[in-house]
Structure 1
Amino acid sequence: MYVGCETKASDVKEMTKTRALVVENTTREVLEIYAKKKLSSADLLALENLNKDLDKNTDLNKKAEIARKLSAKWYDLGFPAIAGAYAEMLAEWFPTPEAWSIAGTTFGQAIPQKEDVKVREFAAAHAITAFENAISLAPEDWTNKLNLALVLTEVPPQDNPMKGVKMLLDLDANYPDNARILFHLGRLAIQTGQFEKAVLRLEKSLKLDNNQPQIYCLLERAYRETSISDLAEKAAEKCRNSIK
Structure 2
Amino acid sequence: MNRQQIFLIVGAVLAVVLIYQLPRVVVENETTTEVETHDFSITSEDEARFATLRQQLKESEEIKKSVNFADSLARLSLKYQMADSAARYARLILSLDGSREAVEKAALIYYQAFQSTTDPEVSKELALKARENLEDLLVDDPQNTFLKNKLAMTLMTTETPMAGVQMLREVLAAEPENREAILNLGLLAIRSGQFDRAEERFTNLLEIDSTDYEALFYYGVSLSEGGKAAEAKDVFEKLISNSDADPALKATASSLIKELENI
Q: Normalization by structure 1: what TM-score?
A: 0.66
What is the match of residue 53 of structure 1?
Answer: 59
Q: How many residues are treated as equivalent by the alignment?
A: 209
What is the match of residue 138 of structure 2?
Answer: 135
- The one-letter amino acid of 2:158's match is P
Q: Distance in 2 between matches of 1:171 and 1:126?
A: 22
Between 1:30-39 and 1:183-192, the stretch displaced more is: 30-39
Q: Distance in 2 between matches of 1:36 and 1:87?
A: 18
User: Which runs of no fewer than 5 residues in structure 1 stay unpaired?
Assistant: 1-26
**Residue 164 (structure 1) aligned with residue 168 (structure 2):** no
Identity %: 23
User: CA contact under 8 A between 1:135 and 1:144: conserved in structure 2?
Assistant: yes
RMSD between superposed Cα atoms in Å: 3.8
Question: CA separation of 1:28/1:127 partners in 2, compared to 1, >3 Å: closer, same or farther?
Answer: farther
User: CA contact under 8 A between 2:86 and 2:113: conserved in structure 1?
Assistant: no
What is the match of residue 223 of structure 1?
Answer: 223
How big is the shift at 1:46? 6.5
Q: Secondary structure at the match of 2:161?
A: coil
Q: Normalization by structure 2: what TM-score?
A: 0.62
How big is the shift at 1:214? 1.6
User: CA contact under 8 A between 1:71 and 1:87: conserved in structure 2?
Assistant: yes
How big is the shift at 1:81? 3.8
User: CA contact under 8 A between 1:149 and 1:164: conserved in structure 2?
Assistant: yes
Question: CA separation of 1:37/1:220 partners in 2, compared to 1, >3 Å: closer, same or farther?
Answer: closer
Give runs of aligned pairs for residues 24-39 of structure 1, distance below 5 A.
Answer: 36=35, 38=37
Question: CA separation of 1:35/1:230 partners in 2, compared to 1, >3 Å: closer, same or farther?
Answer: same
- The one-letter amino acid of 1:131's match is L
> RCO greater where, 1 or 2, for CA within 8 Å and sep 6 or more?
2
Structure whose alpha-carbon radius of gyration is higher: 1
Give runs of aligned pairs for residues 169-208 of structure 1, distance below 5 A.
Answer: 169-208=169-208
What is the match of residue 15 of structure 1?
Answer: none
What is the match of residue 104 of structure 1?
Answer: 107
Q: Distance in 1 between matches of 2:194 and 2:79?
A: 37
Higher percent of residues as helix: 1
User: Which runs of no fewer than 5 residues in structure 2 stay unpaired?
Assistant: 1-25, 40-46, 252-263
Give runs of aligned pairs for residues 3-42 of structure 1, distance below 5 A.
Answer: 36=35, 38=37
Question: CA separation of 1:226/1:90 partners in 2, compared to 1, >3 Å: closer, same or farther?
Answer: closer
How big is the shift at 1:131? 1.8
User: CA contact under 8 A between 1:179 and 1:204: conserved in structure 2?
Assistant: no
How big is the shift at 1:113? 1.5
- The one-letter amino acid of 2:168's match is L
User: CA contact under 8 A between 1:85 and 1:103: conserved in structure 2?
Assistant: no
What is the match of residue 213 of structure 2?
Answer: 213
**Alpha-carbon displacement from aligned partner over 1:124-169 (angstroms, at most 9, x marks no partner):** 221112222332233332011001112222xx213x2322222222
